[in-house]
Structure 1
Amino acid sequence: MAGAIIENMSTKKLVIVGVILLLFQVLSFLVGGLFAPSPTTAIHYVATKCVDVRKHNQQSKWFMPWGPHQCEKIRDFSEAMAMRIQANDIVFAVHIPLPNKEMSPWFQFMLVILQFDIAFNLNNQIAEDGAMVTIDVGLAYRDDILSEWTEIAHSRELRKLSCNFTAPKKPENEGRHYDCDLMPFLELGSVAHKYYLVNIRLPVNERKRVNVGIGEIKDIQLVGIHQNGGFTKVWFAMKTFLTPSILIIMVWYWRRITLMTRPPVLLEKMIFALGISMTFINIPVEWFSVGFNWTWMLLFGDIRQGIFYTMLLSFWIIFCGEHMMDQAERNRFAVYWKQVGPIVFGSFCLFIFDMCERGVQLKNPFYSIWASDVGTELAMAFIIVAGICACLYFLFLCFMVFQVFRNISGKRSSLPAMSRARRLHYEGLIFRFKFLMLVTLACAAMTVIFFIISQVNEGHWHWDEHTVQVNSAFFTGIYGMWNLYVFAIMFLYAPSHKRYGDEQSNGKSSVVRRYPRKRPSASRSTASKRRSR
């Protein structure tokens, strides 16, 4: 019998392939759970208050909080008032990383969150309508402790204070601190240097209402988040191992397609396109980021992941649609435009949203779409809508799988009229397709869960809630699941080598049409079975 490997492979061999893929799936979870550390590390910093004794050309000097050339420091603002030091002459300095530590390109990215420590003062309260803080900030780097600092970026940013004072605003509660939300501050797409220095000024101009009504700021705290080097090495090794495996099966699959006398059908083209998108996301170009300062790697990674998501979600729709054997039209991409169109449009919207933040951060790492009310509302709306759309997509996919099951079950009514051997053969095919559909549904559920969690995890500082801890095992397990699923689909739906019959020559592969419309004669059926053996 001509057809795909899933139709012609013996049950024993199919079980062996399934067990091997299952073992690799378990291994992908174990790699992250046993060998890789947690994906990210958060380090807490408290800014040092330095005094700028220079009155001219202030931007030419960087203020170090410690070390041989450390700045002149004060402990608090009361000391500054006693020394008649103005607020404009105070610089908050933070050295990243902590003393006797070094940053590494293996950290891949650096995200810095800012929080103000503001004390309650009856004569200097935070404005009720929400105060805006003007931050004059500079970022510099160096690769050894003796060289001069080199500026990366300098910007003047606005951040909205969102603070809550739980106690009554009475004189006896003066000195107690507000509960202030975290603020987005800095994001770098690569960590190419060993040392970074952040200098923050809070300029005050009462006439222009700059930094007026922001309360009595005591300290500035930063939280630096970067990817763990150990996790990066495990992740790179996994990508390096999986890239040739998917590339080889993809070349093998397309070679089998081209050996047929008919052109490839829609499902076969979609499977090949899925393999290309998986290879694109697999290629470990991140290795180059270890030696080069490629700040665009975060944006490039988002684009690659977006292309794969679009291809995978579209494939599942067409995969289920092509298995509906009573559907009037098949093997035409235009039939699925109503289902695939919203997927492409949603992916394009997410791309525009990503470009609005990470695209701008390529020039100004202090920019954040979360900094303004409009940007925050827009970002929150995108995350919520994306989560709702992902859930609706999964429900629609479940409905399509249910239709496929109902369609296949309806075909079973014709099985008793067949011979025993032929009936057992088609019952085996029905079981295989149902099992594959359930596996597809499970992969879709895990993908949707991973997408929602990754979106919430990326914006968890802005939600001001506890983060869902996404551990290394989940990352490597889902990534391994994608690769194994694509590998299995290309292997099982490749044309069988046993025979390329007339059905393929006419462009009516059994991948698309599972059951013959006309019962073959007994002699022809017997001869066909002998050839397939």
Structure 2
Amino acid sequence: MAGAIIENMSTKKLVIVGVILLLFQAFAFMVGGLIAPSPTTAVHYLATKCVDKVKKPQQTKWFMPWGEKKCVNIQSFDEAMAKGIEANNIVFAVHIPLPNKEMSPWFQFMLVILQFDIAFKMYNQIADGALVHIDVGLAYRDDMNSEWTEMAHSLEQRKLSCNFTATKSHENEGRHYECDLLPFMEVGSVAHKYYLLNIRLPVNERKKINVGIGEIKDIRLVGIHQNGGFTKVWFAMKTVLTPSILIIMIWYWRRITLMSRPPVLLEKVILALGISMTFINIPVEWFSVGFNWTWMLLFGDIRQGIFYSMLLSFWIIFCGEHLMDQTERNRFSIYWKQVGPIVFGSFCLFIFDMCERGVQLKNPFYSIWASDIGTELAMAFIIVAGICACLYFLFLCFMVFQVFRNISGKRMSLPAMTKARQLHYEGLIFRFKFLMLVTLACAALTVIFFIISQVNEGHWHWGEHTVQVNSAFFTGIYGMWNLYVFAIMFLYAPSHKHYGDEQSSGQCITGDAGVNIGEDMQLTTTITHVDGPTEIYKMIGKEAQE
């Protein structure tokens, strides 16, 4: 009967495979660090205060902050008061991008953050729980001489969270509050060259609209989009990695189907892991360059969620099917207690994503964090997902502990065997432990990537070269998971080495001379035997007694 490649491959060949994978891993980091630019770019905008002299609510005129058709603008609200211009006739206009530049589909998405510059006034302070009502419109065009076409329009509310660090007195009037950044807009594709935002802050004292929000001086926006150069490198990586994973997956399953027995649970889970990796690899993003697919961000989140859910489930089943003295195995139903929290947590995150980016497909200005109810709902989903993640971690730690304790117990029987047999089993035990440590290292690198991406400034200077740290981790972590899945499918595919029929039964057979003719039976993988390694443990104990 055929064992797994990891069981039958010589140490020399295994080291060669490991070195090759390590070189590819280093190359994946270098692609992002030395070739790709920073993943994203942030551009700061200051809104221009345009004057709308027409008071018709059905007016569809768009106000340009600069250019040949620029609006009539004012520099400050003091000027507006001097000219008798009401707050309802002021439109904050922002053109994206800045003059003499244009947007590109390679930017992939556009995220806009809002910040108010609010001055402190004794007679006009910010009230507790103040809400800003925003009447905002988004338009686009692809030619500087064409008319603007409305893309979205919405009436939004944003809760102010401002702090005045100085003493609230007449002496400090005019100093600005320190206000938190507010989520404002997110568009899932950048299909047009030019975008225009017109923002109004309507005032209605009778309805308490925009009352108690302080004296707003300016509106600042921060536009964030993916760098076109990074997008091209990212697409190239996905295009190269897709066929590699697809080919190894087909090769792996072909070897499984050539065996005389049906596939066991671990084999099916490894195939499912390969399918999920292929699903996340397929570079459908190429189409987003030519089509206005605003759902690509949501689709990317779903693909990533499916892969990580499959990966977490794989680790549980991988530990459970290896070196665990349990009476039942090779059935998915026995892992429902461990896999259940993974599925439930992933479902909660999916609902959260649909409540945010799903709604943004219709209204790019929507944010689940804009209201107290939305914030509580979002936090509830995140907390539930976090609890499920903690439960998963405890289950996984317990199973890994059981695996290693089991290994230690079985190694006590090895000194009673022949030297050759000891070396054989020691090698198998070492390979399994090494694979588990590699798995933990991959998970640790993923966590480190998340932390560095949040706190690092983005690049290091190394001599004359600039290393883009965030880009290196993006491409490196993505390449790492591809290499990990590739290695799992390759090492756990059935080997081309076969054994006799009397050995394929999974029993230890002893000849007349007392020589065990089943000494080549494998130890660490259940894919060699449907009954799992429990029977092999019994065999080791019997050999030790003999």
- Structure 1 match to 2:481: 482
C-alpha distance in structure 1 between counterparts of 2:451 and 2:470, whole Å: 15
- Structure 2 match to 1:332: 331
Amino acid at match of 2:252: Y
Tell me the SS of whatever aligns to 2:42: strand
Contact map agreement 1:242 1:483 (CA 8 A) in 2: yes
C-alpha distance in structure 1 between counterparts of 2:290 and 2:504, whole Å: 50
Amino acid at match of 1:183: L
- Correspondences of 1:28-47 after superposition (within 5 Å): 28-47=28-47
C-alpha distance in structure 2 between counterparts of 1:173 and 1:433, whole Å: 68
Tell me the SS of whatever aligns to 2:118: strand
C-alpha distance in structure 2 between counterparts of 1:115 and 1:508, whole Å: 58
Does residue 397 (structure 1) correspond to residue 416 (structure 2)? The answer is no
C-alpha distance in structure 2 between counterparts of 1:17 and 1:277, whole Å: 23
Tell me the SS of whatever aligns to 1:299: helix
Q: CA-to-partner distance for each residue in 1:383-423, whole Å, 9 max, x for gaps?
A: 45545654553454233222211111211222223222222
- Structure 2 match to 1:27: 27
Contact map agreement 1:387 1:452 (CA 8 A) in 2: no
Q: CA deviation at 1:505?
A: 7.2
The normalised TM-score by structure 1 is: 0.91
In structure 2, the CA distance between the partners of 1:468 and 1:130, relative to structure 1 (3 Å rule), is farther
- Structure 2 match to 1:415: 414
Tell me the SS of whatever aligns to 1:192: coil
Q: CA deviation at 1:328?
A: 1.6
C-alpha distance in structure 2 between counterparts of 1:16 and 1:65, whole Å: 62
- Structure 1 match to 2:280: 281
In structure 2, the CA distance between the partners of 1:171 and 1:424, relative to structure 1 (3 Å rule), is same
Farther-moved stretch of structure 1 (317-326 vs 48-57): 48-57
Tell me the SS of whatever aligns to 2:220: strand
Contact map agreement 1:163 1:178 (CA 8 A) in 2: yes
Farther-moved stretch of structure 1 (376-385 vs 421-430): 376-385
Amino acid at match of 2:105: P
C-alpha distance in structure 1 between counterparts of 2:328 and 2:304, whole Å: 31
C-alpha distance in structure 2 between counterparts of 1:273 and 1:231, whole Å: 30
Amino acid at match of 2:70: Q
- Structure 1 match to 2:509: none
- Correspondences of 1:57-136 after superposition (within 5 Å): 59-127=59-127, 129-136=128-135
In structure 2, the CA distance between the partners of 1:274 and 1:85, relative to structure 1 (3 Å rule), is same
- Structure 1 match to 2:510: none
Tell me the SS of whatever aligns to 1:424: helix
- Correspondences of 1:189-268 after superposition (within 5 Å): 189-268=188-267
C-alpha distance in structure 2 between counterparts of 1:468 and 1:30, whole Å: 18
Tell me the SS of whatever aligns to 1:60: coil
In structure 2, the CA distance between the partners of 1:176 and 1:501, relative to structure 1 (3 Å rule), is farther
Q: CA-to-partner distance for each residue in 1:412-450, whole Å, 9 max, x for gaps?
A: 222223222222111111111111111112223334555
- Structure 1 match to 2:438: 439
- Structure 2 match to 1:5: 5
Alignment length (residue pairs): 511
Q: CA deviation at 1:510?
A: 4.5
Contact map agreement 2:342 2:388 (CA 8 A) in 1: no
Amino acid at match of 1:284: P
Tell me the SS of whatever aligns to 2:49: strand
Q: CA-to-partner distance for each residue in 1:299-351, whole Å, 9 max, x for gaps?
A: 00000000001100000000001013412211010110000001000000100
Q: CA deviation at 1:468?
A: 7.8
Contact map agreement 2:338 2:395 (CA 8 A) in 1: no
Amino acid at match of 1:202: L
Q: CA deviation at 1:367?
A: 0.2
C-alpha distance in structure 1 between counterparts of 2:132 and 2:446, whole Å: 40
Contact map agreement 2:30 2:472 (CA 8 A) in 1: yes
- Structure 2 match to 1:462: none
Amino acid at match of 1:112: V
C-alpha distance in structure 2 between counterparts of 1:37 and 1:189, whole Å: 21
Amino acid at match of 1:188: V
Please tell me the root mean square deviation across aligned C-alpha atoms, in Å: 2.2
Q: CA-to-partner distance for each residue in 1:459-490, whole Å, 9 max, x for gaps?
A: xxxxxxx7886711111111111101100000
C-alpha distance in structure 1 between counterparts of 2:540 and 2:369, whole Å: 65
- Structure 2 match to 1:513: 533
C-alpha distance in structure 2 between counterparts of 1:332 and 1:504, whole Å: 21
Q: CA-to-partner distance for each residue in 1:209-261, whole Å, 9 max, x for gaps?
A: 11111111110000001111111111111111100000000000000000000
Amino acid at match of 1:156: L
C-alpha distance in structure 1 between counterparts of 2:457 and 2:94, whole Å: 28
In structure 2, the CA distance between the partners of 1:496 and 1:404, relative to structure 1 (3 Å rule), is same
Contact map agreement 1:124 1:215 (CA 8 A) in 2: yes
In structure 2, the CA distance between the partners of 1:58 and 1:467, relative to structure 1 (3 Å rule), is farther
Tell me the SS of whatever aligns to 2:100: coil
C-alpha distance in structure 2 between counterparts of 1:76 and 1:508, whole Å: 74
C-alpha distance in structure 1 between counterparts of 2:49 and 2:147, whole Å: 21
Identical columns (%): 83
- Structure 2 match to 1:178: 177
Amino acid at match of 1:368: S
Farther-moved stretch of structure 1 (287-296 vs 55-64): 55-64
Farther-moved stretch of structure 1 (341-350 vs 325-334): 325-334
- Structure 2 match to 1:362: 361
Tell me the SS of whatever aligns to 1:364: coil
Tell me the SS of whatever aligns to 2:16: helix
Contact map agreement 2:342 2:389 (CA 8 A) in 1: no
Tell me the SS of whatever aligns to 2:3: coil
Q: CA deviation at 1:289?
A: 0.4
Does residue 430 (structure 1) correspond to residue 450 (structure 2)? The answer is no
Tell me the SS of whatever aligns to 1:471: helix
- Structure 1 match to 2:518: none
- Structure 1 match to 2:16: 16
Which runs of no fewer than 5 residues in structure 1 stay unpaired?
458-465, 523-533
Amino acid at match of 1:111: L
C-alpha distance in structure 1 between counterparts of 2:504 and 2:262, whole Å: 9
Contact map agreement 2:413 2:540 (CA 8 A) in 1: no
Which runs of no fewer than 5 residues in structure 2 stay unpaired?
459-468, 507-525
Q: CA deviation at 1:125?
A: 1.3
In structure 2, the CA distance between the partners of 1:382 and 1:519, relative to structure 1 (3 Å rule), is closer
C-alpha distance in structure 2 between counterparts of 1:168 and 1:400, whole Å: 57
In structure 2, the CA distance between the partners of 1:87 and 1:426, relative to structure 1 (3 Å rule), is same
- Structure 1 match to 2:516: none
Farther-moved stretch of structure 1 (28-37 vs 507-516): 507-516
Contact map agreement 1:140 1:149 (CA 8 A) in 2: yes
Tell me the SS of whatever aligns to 2:289: helix
Contact map agreement 1:190 1:289 (CA 8 A) in 2: yes
Contact map agreement 2:137 2:150 (CA 8 A) in 1: yes
